[in-house]
Structure formats: structure tokens, C-alpha cells
A and B are shown apart, each in its own frame.
Chain A
Amino acid sequence: MDELSFEQVVNAHYEPLYRFALSLSRSESDAGDLVQQTFYRWATKGGQLRDRSKVKSWLFTTLHREFLGQRRHADKFPATELSTEDGRELAAYTPAPERQLDGASVVAALGELDESFRAPLALFYLEEHSYREIAEILEIPIGTVMSRISRGKELLRKQILEKEEK
């Protein structure tokens, strides 16, 4: 891979990757490390990716795996897989906060959610990926993505409202 193509890939993807990493890790330094590690992987292994249209998904998948690997290694955040509740009645709509939310508040609210909801919601709100791509990146079934986005939004709304009321 030549220098130019590497830089092109960095230019195109490092910002959404950082925001995704920040949503996952809730730490600016950890997020930066995750992004750097992801691009290091790209530099050393990216040449094996033959379908260049998959670069973005490859990077997000790699970052997510890096995050999971680091979390397991640190053993600070035990993984908890919450069961999905398909067919559940959706909560009645609660008016969204009127004032503009700042990015830090959103990240903080996302950070309050379990990682099983945080990752699909962050990818959804970054708008970089469809639900199918989110399923590929997180390596979970599409139905699980749908239910986690739905349930995660509900939880996120509650988090934001609680912060607004304080």
C-alpha cells in the first residue's frame, strides 16, 4: 500500500472512527489509541482486503474487535449480553428535548448504556452504515441489530431526559 492511498483512507474515515471509538470507550485517550491501532492494522493487514468497497466496514469492524479485545484484557468492564425483547410494546413517545444537545452530552448519555446497545446506536447515529452493515461490523444478526437499536433509543431518550431534568 503506498503512502498516498493510506492517507486517503485516513482522511476519509478517521473522524467517524474516532467518534465511534469515543462512544464505545468513553475516553478521549482510549478512543485515540483505538483509532491509531485500527489504522496500524490497516497498514499491516489491509492489503489482504481485495474488495475496496469494504474498507469502511473493515475499519469499523477492526476497531470494534480491538475495543472488545482491550476490554477483555483489562477485565474492567465485564461483558453482559442483555436479552432482546422482540415483539415488545414500544414506549409512548416522549417529546425530545427542545434545546440543542452538545456532542459531549450525547456521548455521555450513550456511555450510560450497556455496550450491547451503545455500539449499534453509535453506528446508527453516525449514519455511516445501514442496519445490514452494522450487523456485519458487530457480527450479530440483523434482527438483533433492529431490536437493540429500538430498545437502545428508548433507553437513550430516558438518559437524556434525566440529564435535562437535573
Chain B
Amino acid sequence: MNRDEAMMILQAYRPGGQDANDSFFAEALAWVQNDPELAGWFAQQQAFDARITGSLQQVPVPAALKAQILAQHRSKPAAPFDWWSRLFVIQSPIAWAAAAVVLILLGLTLYRNHRSDQSSFAEYSEQMAGAAMTDPHHVDLAVGDLKSAIASLPKDSGDGDLSLPLRLAGGNGLTGCRRLTWHGHDVAMLCFMPAGGGHVDLFVAPATLFPDAPPADQPRFATNNGAPTASWTHAGETYLAVGHGDENQLRNLWSAGKITCIHLKLCTRAGRASF
């Protein structure tokens, strides 16, 4: 602490001596004892403060104020001591402990339900890639155009805006589709064998199922269950493309290195198609 700091602190020292035992002021007061000039300044400060304090405390208070406060209180009864306030005041420690246990159990239950409902996209990708690669029951319905495929798929969610890689746009190579379920939710699978070779299965599921849904409109490439995959999100739907060849074959679906998707608005006679 330097002299200026001591002066700053001493300004907050009340002239009535209420702060005499406050250790915060001890070091600043020690400066006063060792610095006569500072001691003189401090004495004058205290005298000025005492004068102001005395004057302020002489400010008269309206004689009727107290009576008005009490009258107001009598005319407006205090708010009833609501049951929850009573709960906070009078419950025993045992009751508090019991309430805490109940809250913890409730929290755990909610957390587990939430966890079971919101599985990770990585886990989903592993399982879907496995289904694509090993499941002999590959498609439910052999169809050759997107409109027919979408009409046969579950209308779980989505706004009908289907996001597809450039080389699959327009249903190029579509051979069939299938319904699967994931934690009780429908998942649509479209099977493509585009011209020029290759085999890709595209899984579409609501993005709300996953706390870690893939990035929007930007394919993220990975390997799941030994198969190359690309995943992205568009308009509330997650897309998982599982390639049956190598990773380059999958990447080639996005032409000339462009990482863009074609968005197809598909409408059926009944209205917009959705997953």
C-alpha cells in the first residue's frame, strides 16, 4: 500500500469510530501514525466528516411519517404466509434430505429418458451402416423414381425438401426404398446405384433425434462399421449416405469437388411429401 492508497482508504473511515476494529483500515491507519503530514490531513478529514454527519443526522423527519407507515400496514394486511414459504422455513432437515433424494431421482430419471431418446449420431451411423452392408433384406420396395419412393416412405417429419448430392439428383440410379426404425422413430432409406457404378444407401431421419447432428449442407465424411459415409443436415433432417465402395467413390457423388447438395421440392397429389 502506498500513501495515495492509504488516503483513499481512509476516506471511507467513518468519523464515529465504527470502523476502529475493521482490519481493512489497519494498514492505512498505520500510515497515519508514521506520517505527521498525513495525520494532519486525516484529522481534518475526520473533522469535516463529523460535521457533515452531524448535520445530516439533524435533518428532521416528518412527525407523521411513522404513524403513516404503521397505519398503512394496519390497513393492508401483510400477504398470507404462503405454503411454499412455510415449507422453506419450517421443514426439518430430514424432510429436506428426503426432498433432495426425490429431486435427484427425478433428475436421473429425466436424464436417462432424455439420453435414451437422444442417441448420438455416431451410434446411429454405425448401426445404419451395418444395416446397409449386412442386412440381406435390403429394400422393402423396388421403385425407380423418387416420387414413388417418397410416397411409400413414412411421413415422420420434415418439410418435403429433399437434399441430395449432385450425382443422385433427380433420382439417378434409385432402385428402391425401405423403412427402418431408430429408438421408435421412423428412418427412411433410399437405395441408389447411379450410372457409372457404385452403390449408395441414403438414410434420412429427423435431426431432433440427435444432439450432435452433422453440419448443415456440408457433407462430413467418415468411416462407420467399415463403410465410407457422408452425413449432413438440411431442413430439420439428417442425411447419412453409406457407400458400398471406397471413399473416393462416395466423394465423387459431389461433382468436381463441390460440396453442395441439390434440394428437391417434391410434391405429391396430396401435398408436400415429407419424411
Residues of A within 8 A of B (CB): 1, 3, 6-7, 10-11, 14-15, 18-19, 22-23, 28, 32, 35-36, 39-40, 43-45, 47-48, 50, 87, 89-90, 93, 95-97, 100-107, 122, 124-127, 130-131, 145-147, 149-150, 153, 156-157
Min CB distance, A115 to chain B, in Å? 17
Asked if B79 CB lies within 8 Å of chain A CBs, one says: yes
Q: Which A-chain residue is minimally distant from B49 (CB atoms)?
A: A125
Q: In this complex, what residue of A is CB-closest to B48?
A: A96
Bound together, the chains give a CA A131 to CA B19 distance in angstroms of 9
Chain A residue nearest to B14 (CB atoms) is: A127
Whether A105 and B55, one on each chain, are in contact in the complex, defined by CB atoms closer than 8 angstroms, is: yes
Verify B79–A44 contact, CB threshold 8 A. Answer: yes
Considering the complex of A and B, which 5 residue pairs feature the smallest CB-CB distances, nearest first? A103-B59, A96-B48, A150-B11, A101-B55, A131-B12
B interface vs A, CB < 8 Å?
A: 4, 7-9, 11-12, 14-16, 18-19, 22, 24, 41, 44-45, 47-49, 51-62, 65-66, 68-70, 72-74, 76, 78-79, 81, 85, 88-89
Task: State in angstroms the CA–CA spacing of A130 and B20 once bound together.
Answer: 11
User: B73 and A43: CB pair below 8 A?
Assistant: yes
Contact A127 B72 (CB under 8 A): no
Q: Which residues of B contact A124 (CB under 8 A)?
A: 12, 14
A110 nearest in chain B by CB position: B56
CB of B217 to closest CB in A, whole Å: 45
Q: Give chain A residues whose Cβ lies under 8 Å from the Cβ of B66.
A: 10-11, 14
A47 contacts B85, C-beta separation under 8 Å? yes
> What distance in Å separates the Cβ of A104 from its nearest Cβ neighbour in chain B?
7
In the complex, what residue of chain A is closest to B15 when comparing beta carbons? A127
The complex places the Cα of A149 from the Cα of B48 at a distance, in Å, of 14
Query: 20 A–B contact pairs at CB < 8 A?
Result: A15-B61, A35-B69, A36-B65, A36-B72, A40-B76, A87-B4, A101-B52, A106-B59, A107-B56, A126-B53, A130-B18, A131-B24, A146-B8, A149-B12, A150-B7, A150-B8, A150-B11, A153-B11, A153-B45, A153-B48
Complex contact B61–A1 (CB within 8 A): no
Known contacts being A50-B89, A90-B8, A146-B8, is A39 close to B72, with CB within 8 Å? yes
Contacts of A153 in B (CB 8 A): 11, 45, 48-49
Q: Which of A32, A39, A50, A103 lies in contact with B73, CB distance below 8 A?
A: A39
Task: Kindly list chain B residues whose C-beta atoms are within 8 Å of the C-beta of A19.
Answer: 56-57, 59, 61
Knowing that A47-B78, A101-B55, A130-B22 are A-B contacts, what are 14 other residue pairs whose CB atoms are under 8 Å apart, sorted by A's residue number?
Answer: A6-B78, A18-B62, A23-B56, A32-B62, A32-B65, A35-B65, A35-B69, A43-B78, A87-B4, A89-B4, A100-B55, A104-B59, A125-B52, A127-B57
User: Are B70 and A10 interface neighbours, CB within 8 A?
Assistant: yes
Report the bound CA distance from A6 to B39 in whole Å: 45
Residues from chain B with a CB closer than 8 A to the CB of A126 are: 53, 56-57
Residue of A nearest to B89 (CB): A50
